[in-house]
Structure 1
Amino acid sequence: MAADSPDPGEEPPDGPPAPPSRRDETADEPPHPAFAEYATESVPAAAVGSPGKDGRLELRFEVDGNGETNLVRDLVRAPFHVSGTLGHDPLPEAETVYVQSPTGGVAQGDRHAVDIEVGADAVAHVSTQSSQKVLSMARNYAAADVSLSVGSGGHLDYVPEPTILHGDSRFCQSVTLELAPDASAVVGEVVVPGRLARGERFDFERYLSRLRVRRERELLVDDATHLRPADADPSAPGVMGEFAVLGTLYVLTPASGDTSDDAELSDRLHEVTNAETDSDGRGDEDGETVRASATRLPNDAGVAVRALGHRAETVTAALRAAWDEARIELLGVGAPDSRRP
């Protein structure tokens, strides 16, 4: 939704920095050149009464006079649904929202727009109730545009459940994060290249996920995962090798000016992820092994953790160990317990 531009002499409004907007792009313009070949393919009209192709989710969190975070705005359009907030965060003043979807998954032609704003000093955790299934496609593609912003002294955990790519699916996700100088965030992603229990593995057509992080409009991080099995074998050495599941956790830290802070955090996250994956001493043959590592992000932006494994559950567990450690560093308390059984 467009807003009037402020006069040059006006003070900037309170709250989180405005996220970079791409809403003025035409509906037919692909989010990445790699998807241009699909954009011209028309999609059959949906049946009357079926969920809309253009899903929308808007969430805004603000702190009240008691220092507690509240969800002050929620706007949803199918396939998104929000039933309310959950107060189960180990940080009493924080707030949690689980996003639900009543549909069977992401279909061809779907366009999803997600905007999450966390105000000054607010602490919010946003996740999904279940895995996101990207369904098989014959035409066009599906895209998600996720815009996140965190105000001064605020913190956001955006850690959805895994994305499962069905055979012949095409999915492009763009995540932009705008941070105030003293704000922090944790952004997670796990991608599963098929319904592994059914023998699907790298049967999807194209997958692209890109994260861009800015602080005061300065680009700090631009990282992407782009897989197209028909062009390059994902199981090749140096890509995913023997593993099927890929997970990434980005820990974005406040600007401190001390480069040793992120180096120490990187070492700790590397240690806890490997402690999680090696604690039982099992080998590759049981399908439980995870290979994980942590590295500093450029521009003193924080730390990235990557994990490869055979199952979504084991990769998620490794990233959760890193998330828990990072949250202790950033907020003094660990990550919320999972609500999934």
Structure 2
Amino acid sequence: MPDCSSPSFLTPPNSNAHSAHSAWQARLTLGFALRDGVSRLVERRHSGPLRVQKALYPEGGAVCHAIIVHPPGGVVGGDQLAVQATVGDGAHAFLTSPGAAKWYRANGHVSGQHIALRAGAGAAIEWMPQESIFFDQACVRLRHEVELAPDACYIGCDIICLGRSASGESFDSGSIAQHTQIRRGGKLLWWEQGLLAADGPLMASPLGMHGLRVCATLIAVGGPVAAGVIDALRAIAVPDGARLGVTQMKTLVAVRLLGTDSEAARCAMLAAWQLLRPAIMGRVAVVPRIWNT
């Protein structure tokens, strides 16, 4: 098992780090631009097994929906995935995935994912993939970076499932390192990094997973959110034993849930998105059909 607890584990993935190992080095670069009132997918480049299906417009031309596909269906030890998306001035992009991401055992190599999102003046970007399932002995580092213009908006969601409890599978060994930063107008709004080790203190600590196996986080950045919306977020129903918290810091709202049921976490994050999207982006939350298939 690689040492996932070392400081270097939190550095960005190196595409040459596993050249001796037959792992996937997959990259996807997307660019969106507003043209004649339509947010268009104007750049689409890839290497390795990362693709995006054709641009979809379920809510009209102002918002471009793009579904990111990882054809292998799962990430094994040593695989490195990188997605970069840039949304030009005034455009709006919604990025999602067709199903849960599966991170398998390390096999002696560290896997990684690096997401870099940028939005220009008056633009909006949404990163709403489905949940990530981490199998026993997975060793993974995740890096998520967002750069926003001073008046750009962002909503991003991340759901982590440690093992598949419904199948009787647990996360008894392995590690997940996370690094997230969000900047708006060059100012750092959110900085978070940590290491979840299966045998580490954060798994049981009230400051960590508190003995639970599902963690969901939704972060929204935009204009000020009314107190009534914050109250509604805090009133979202969750199952017994789950914990939901909401924090507002000026132009940023964070919603976080700890629980045992990934489906319940998805429902809670969907409810939060349906409240925050109209408040921040002025648009009703249109649920992608791919989420229901």
TM-score higher than 0.5 here? Answer: yes
Letter in 2 for 1:275: I
Change (3 A) 1:206 1:117: same
More strand by share: 2
Gaps of 5+ in 2: none
Say if 2:173 and 2:199, in contact at 8 Å, map to a contact too: no
Instruction: State the shift of 1:241 in Å.
Output: 2.5
Q: Distance in 1 between matches of 2:188 and 2:92?
A: 23
Say if 2:189 and 2:252, in contact at 8 Å, map to a contact too: no
Change (3 A) 1:32 1:270: farther
Does 2:273 align with 1:323?
A: yes
Query: Alpha-carbon deviations, 1:85-142, whole Å to 9, x = none?
Result: 12113x5411100111210311111121110001111011001111110011121201
Does 2:26 align with 1:60?
A: no
Figure out how many residues of one structure are paired with residues of the other and give that number.
284
Say if 2:73 and 2:101, in contact at 8 Å, map to a contact too: no
Query: Alpha-carbon deviations, 1:315-335, whole Å to 9, x = none?
Result: 111111111111111222222
Instruction: State the shift of 1:69 in Å.
Output: 0.5
Change (3 A) 1:222 1:243: same
Letter in 2 for 1:296: Q
Change (3 A) 1:42 1:156: closer
Match in the other structure for 1:187: 156
Instruction: State the shift of 1:143 in Å.
Output: 1.1
Change (3 A) 1:32 1:216: farther
Return the index of the structure with the highest Cα Rg. Answer: 1
Select the residue among 264, 283, 294 that pairs with 2:246.
294
Matched residue of 2:32: which SS? strand
Say if 1:133 and 1:165, in contact at 8 Å, map to a contact too: yes
Match in the other structure for 2:56: 86
Gaps of 5+ in 1: 1-29, 47-51, 255-260, 278-282
Q: Distance in 2 between matches of 1:70 and 1:273?
A: 36
Instruction: State the shift of 1:182 in Å.
Output: 0.6
Letter in 1 for 2:284: G
Say if 1:63 and 1:121, in contact at 8 Å, map to a contact too: yes
Q: Distance in 1 between matches of 2:153 and 2:189?
A: 13
Matched residue of 2:270: which SS? helix
Task: Output aligned runs, 1:324-339, within 5 Å.
Answer: 324-338=274-288, 339=290
Matched residue of 2:203: which SS? coil
Identity %: 25
Q: Distance in 1 between matches of 2:57 and 2:122?
A: 20
Structure 1 stretch displaced more, 223-232 or 323-332: 223-232
C-alpha RMSD over aligned residues: 2.5
Change (3 A) 1:315 1:63: same
Match in the other structure for 2:236: 275
Change (3 A) 1:120 1:31: farther
Matched residue of 2:206: which SS? coil
Letter in 2 for 1:59: L
Change (3 A) 1:234 1:270: farther
Instruction: State the shift of 1:159 in Å.
Output: 1.0
What is the TM-score normalised by the length of structure 1?
A: 0.76
Task: Output aligned runs, 1:191-206, within 5 Å.
Answer: 191-206=160-175
Matched residue of 2:209: which SS? coil
Say if 1:166 and 1:204, in contact at 8 Å, map to a contact too: no
Instruction: State the shift of 1:43 in Å.
Output: 7.7
Matched residue of 1:317: which SS? helix
Q: Distance in 2 between matches of 1:163 and 1:32?
A: 23
Say if 2:123 and 2:152, in contact at 8 Å, map to a contact too: yes
Q: Distance in 2 between matches of 1:191 and 1:63?
A: 33
Query: Alpha-carbon deviations, 1:48-79, whole Å to 9, x = none?
Result: xxxx62110111110002x1101001112232
Matched residue of 1:325: which SS? helix
Letter in 1 for 2:246: A
Say if 1:43 and 1:139, in contact at 8 Å, map to a contact too: no
Change (3 A) 1:92 1:72: closer
Runs ≥4 in structure 1, deviation > 4 angstroms? 41-44
Match in the other structure for 2:45: 75
Does 2:264 align with 1:314?
A: yes
Match in the other structure for 2:219: 250
Select the residue among 57, 64, 67 that pairs with 1:98.
67
Say if 1:145 and 1:173, in contact at 8 Å, map to a contact too: yes
Letter in 1 for 2:274: D
Q: Distance in 1 between matches of 2:283 and 2:275?
A: 9
